Amino acid sequence: MASSSSKNSRYHQHRQPHLPDECWESIFKHLTHHPHDLESLSLVSKHFLSLTNRLLTHLTVFDPLLPLLPALLRRFPNLTSIKVPGSRYFTGDINALLSQIASFDLPSLHSLEISYQDTFPSHGLRQFSQKFPTLKSLNCSRMRPNLVLIAECFPNLEEIHVTFTSFYPETDLQVKALTSGLKKLRKVYLSGNYILQDSSIFTLCQNCVSLEELVVRGGIVTLELIGTLVSLKCLTCLHLSHSDISDEALCALADGVLPLRELSLQGCKGYQYSGISSLLRKCNNLQCLDLQGTEFLNDECVIELSLLLANLNVVKLSGKNLTDLSLFAIMRNCPLITEIRMVGTSVGKHKLEEDCLVVNSHVKFLYLASNSCLNDESVKMIALVCPNLEMIDLNHCRRVSKGAVEVLWRCCCKIQRMELALLGCELSEFQFRVNFEVPTLLVLNLSQLSITNEEISLISKSCYNLKELNLNYCYKITASGVKQVVKNCKQLRMISLYYCENVSCDIVSWMVLARPSLRKIRAPRCSSHIVDQRDYFLRHGCFVEWIPKELSLIMKWSDQIFL
């Protein structure tokens, strides 16, 4: 029998079809929705490990990764993008880091982000440019940049992000030098630049005739400037946030017949309904519209404008004059809408009958945080109208109970992310009673909720595929509740326990050993025990973060003021 079994085994191995690596890569891409999903595949075999290594294209460099960086750069040869976050997460020498990266062979690298650095790394960028002169995207936001050096080092740039955080006289000259030297620019983001002159934009438009995306923050949008912008016949994305712009300027922009797909007038002043309606009548193919901070907007305006936006995918609105009438009019009149952001509005103020609602299967993302009128009835209406919802933000919706969340879980079978911080704080007597599976939920924010160990245990059993869980300020949670989460959620990668006063730091060691999938833990409080074992946790693949005691006191004091 053993001999026969062995022969059958060899027969099946011989008959097993061989798939080219390209086929396996295609299969992996279809099976995974996030780079983290590749981790389990990489453990199957050395062959799968080599394939998944080739599929990782983005790398973020934090302090804990620095000792491993050479190994990571050798392991992932197809990196296309490297991000170095600000001083909170990276405290090393940015010049030395860029020089180190430049010593490796990364033929596919075309994007670099070094935002929020304390100093502009001129030396490091020069060395980096010698190895990667064909870099196409550079993000150096939130620092004082040397635009002349950038133009010299990276003549093939197609995308650049720059933020001017303070006034200095040479800004306008630097922008002109940048745009004169970078003829291939297609995407330009100049945020925080209240001091830029029209002449800089004129030079930009004259030199970068292939410009597709332009973000300019602040200033006065004149008719002359509009005349320059409409000369950019490839312009599909225009952000003029926090600017002064008149109805005449908007009408002139409409007459330019630009192929705009994305428009942001967030925080803009000086225009009225007639100006924006004239523009939207001409921009028939607009897909993304941001009118946050527009003071004159009310339900009547939004209802009329929604009739002009048949191709809209994303809309962002704000203001207490907007209610359920605006929300459901968008869902009804914009059949392709996928994302609606109405933070700090009055959704929930007007009751709508069910027979007035139209199901929109395209809506996937709803941002409804800080809606003081939103209640359970409104949330239940949303659950009925948006059956394919994947993400909802109900942070600081104090009149929404936990029972409404259960309705969302039942009705929206594709829900993946829920933001529920400070949910129903005016209805603290309600409790989660979920007794059904929610296998799609991956990210859950329950911070500042009056939630018990029994409730979090029920949630972890139902939402067993959770990868990220935020329990900050959940003062009723103890180590027992946390252990239930770690035991039940076998794919958990991040858990945040800031200010969980009844959870001891001793549990951190147990979590790291009990759940190998954990990659980040925000400890409940700072202690010498955590600090001393940080390297030990890193060797197990988990980064443990904590708030220093001094900062902890400041944050707790400020939270008590603003909550």
- Predicted local confidence at residue 13, as pLDDT: 46
Q: How is residue 281 written in tokens?
A: 């009548």
How far CA 134 is from CA of 138, 154, 158, 186, in Å, comes to 11, 7, 10, 15
CB 102 within 8 A of CB 131: yes
Q: How far apart are the first and last CA of the chain?
A: 72
CB 384 within 8 A of CB 411: yes
Question: What does the alpha-carbon distance between residue 494 and residue 519 come to, in Å, rounded to a whole number?
Answer: 6
Question: What does the alpha-carbon distance between residue 363 and residue 327 come to, in Å, rounded to a whole number?
Answer: 12
- Predicted local confidence at residue 473, as pLDDT: 94
- Predicted local confidence at residue 164, as pLDDT: 65
How far CA 402 is from CA of 49, 207, 384, 450, 552, in Å, comes to 42, 56, 17, 11, 29
- Predicted local confidence at residue 74, as pLDDT: 92
CB 501 within 8 A of CB 475: yes
How far CA 106 is from CA of 128, 140, 261, in Å, comes to 12, 21, 34
Three-state DSSP state, 326? helix
How far CA 409 is from CA of 289, 304, 392, 432, 466, in Å, comes to 29, 33, 11, 12, 14
Count: domains in the chain:
1
Cα four-point dihedral sign 300, 328, 431, 467: negative
Question: What does the alpha-carbon distance between residue 507 and residue 513 come to, in Å, rounded to a whole number?
Answer: 10
- Predicted local confidence at residue 410, as pLDDT: 94
- Predicted local confidence at residue 326, as pLDDT: 96
Is there a domain that residue 169 lies in?
no
Is there a domain that residue 119 lies in?
yes
How is 55-121 classified by DSSP, letter by letter? H--EEE--GGGGGGHHHHHHH-TT--EEE---TTT--S-HHHHHHHHTTS--TT--EEE-TT-SS--
Question: What does the alpha-carbon distance between residue 556 and residue 558 come to, in Å, rounded to a whole number?
Answer: 6
Question: What does the alpha-carbon distance between residue 124 and residue 97 come to, in Å, rounded to a whole number?
Answer: 7
Write the single-letter amino acid at 185: L
- The alpha carbon of residue 239 and the mean position of all alpha carbons in its chain are separated, in whole angstroms, by 18
* Count of C-beta atoms within a 10 Å radius of residue 84: 23
Q: How is residue 504 written in tokens?
A: 């001891």
Is there a domain that residue 499 lies in?
no
How many residues are present in the chain? 563
Q: Find the angle CA(340)-CA(343)-CA(346) to the nearest 5 degrees.
A: 100
- Predicted local confidence at residue 24, as pLDDT: 76
- The residue with tokens 């946390």 is 482
Question: What does the alpha-carbon distance between residue 288 and residue 507 come to, in Å, rounded to a whole number?
Answer: 45
Is there a domain that residue 37 lies in?
yes
DSSP H/E element including 507? helix 507-514
- Predicted local confidence at residue 26, as pLDDT: 76
- Predicted local confidence at residue 11, as pLDDT: 44
- Those residues with Cβ within 8 angstroms of residue 180's Cβ, 6 or more apart along the chain or in another chain: 151, 203, 207
How is 189-221 classified by DSSP, letter by letter? EEET-TT--HHHHHHHHHH-TT--EEEE-SSEE
- Those residues with Cβ within 8 angstroms of residue 419's Cβ, 6 or more apart along the chain or in another chain: 369, 392, 393, 394, 395, 445
Is there a domain that residue 115 lies in?
yes
- Those residues with Cβ within 8 angstroms of residue 66's Cβ, 6 or more apart along the chain or in another chain: 92, 97
Question: What does the alpha-carbon distance between residue 313 and residue 330 come to, in Å, rounded to a whole number?
Answer: 10
Is there a domain that residue 405 lies in?
no
Q: For 429-508, where are the E strands, in sequence order?
A: 443-445, 468-470, 494-496
Question: What does the alpha-carbon distance between residue 245 and residue 250 come to, in Å, rounded to a whole number?
Answer: 7
Mean pLDDT by 10 residues, the chain (563 residues): 48 56 75 69 75 83 87 92 86 93 94 91 95 94 86 93 64 74 88 61 83 86 89 93 93 93 96 96 94 96 96 97 96 97 95 82 97 94 95 96 93 96 74 90 95 95 96 95 97 94 90 94 79 83 75 40 32
Q: How many CA atoms lie within 13 A of 242 on its CB side?
A: 10
Is there a domain that residue 248 lies in?
no
CB 65 within 8 A of CB 88: no
Is there a domain that residue 533 lies in?
no
- The residue with tokens 């059956």 is 387
- Predicted local confidence at residue 497, as pLDDT: 95
Question: What does the alpha-carbon distance between residue 310 and residue 283 come to, in Å, rounded to a whole number?
Answer: 11
Q: How is residue 127 written in tokens?
A: 């060395």
**Domain assignment of residue 119, given as a range:** 28-135
Alpha helices in 230-320 (DSSP H): 247-255, 273-282, 299-306
* Count of C-beta atoms within a 10 Å radius of residue 430: 17
